[in-house]
Amino acid sequence: MALERTLVIVKPDGVQRGLVGPIISRFEARGLKIVGMKLMQIDRDLAARHYAVHEGKPFYAGLIDYITSSPVVVMVLEGPGAIDIARRTMGATRPAEAQPGTIRADFGLEVGRNLVHGSDGPETARCEIDLYFTEDELISWPRADDRWVYE
Ligand code: DAT
Ligand code: MG
């Protein structure tokens, strides 16, 4: 499967609840490789660009307030099929509908506190990675485990 990169965010509730480690562990254990990562506070301008597709929806104002409310951990994860794999590891948008074993089901209850973001396709992944990271903040590195994770 093609090697992809995707943007994943541990949202403010994940950071505030001390779940950064457990959430990142899910992706790491799955075999996805961290090629960029930082703690940052998303400002309203960046939030508006990130969630532009949701502008005008009833939950938009609350979504912007929430995502800008306290620090987040943003990362770029790499692997074969990384975009879809990360989304499946996160689970459905609404934690109540997410499958047990996914991050949103195991750590969350409500849609507006669903802990993680993950890009939903190749084009959004490219745009979102560019929104949050400069080229020199991303590192392509050979991982000792690569040959035990990739065929
Ligand atoms: P996802 O984060 O699974 O890609 P999305 O892109 O449809 O979901 O929406 C972005 C975020 O907006 C989502 O993580 C939580 C919030 N959201 C979506 N639909 C919502 C709704 N009906 N009510 C409240 N918040 C919602
Ligand atoms: Mg989305």
What's 98's domain CATH number? 3.30.70.141
How much is the average pLDDT of 77-101? 98
Is the separation of the CB atoms in 88 and 102 below 8 Å?
Answer: yes
pLDDT band at 76 (very low <50, low <70, confident <90, very high): very high
Q: In sequence order, which residues have a C-beta less than 8 Å from that of residue 123 and are 6 or more positions away?
A: none
Relative to the CA of 120, which ligand 1 atom is closest? 4
Relative to the CA of 118, which ligand 1 atom is closest? 4
Alpha carbon 123 to its chain centroid, in Å, reads 15
Residue 1 in this model has a pLDDT that exceeds 90: no
Out of 42, 49, 53, 63, mutate this one to test ligand 1's pocket (max ligand atoms within 8 Å of CB): namely 63
Q: Which of 9, 5, 24, 7 is nearest to 114 (CA)?
A: 9
Domain range for residue 82?
A: 4-149
Task: Kindly list the catalytic residues.
Answer: 117
Q: Which of 74, 78, 89, 76 is nearest to 4 (CA)?
A: 78
pLDDT tens figures, 15-67: 999 999 999 999 999 999 999 999 999 999 999 999 999 999 999 999 999 99
The pTM of this model reads 0.98
Domain count, the chain: 1
Distance CA 128, CA 78 (A): 14
pLDDT tens figures, 117-141: 999 999 999 999 999 999 999 999 9
Closest C-alpha to ligand 1, atom 9: 93
Q: Ligand 1: list residues with CB < 6 Å.
A: 54, 59, 63, 93, 111-112, 114, 117, 120
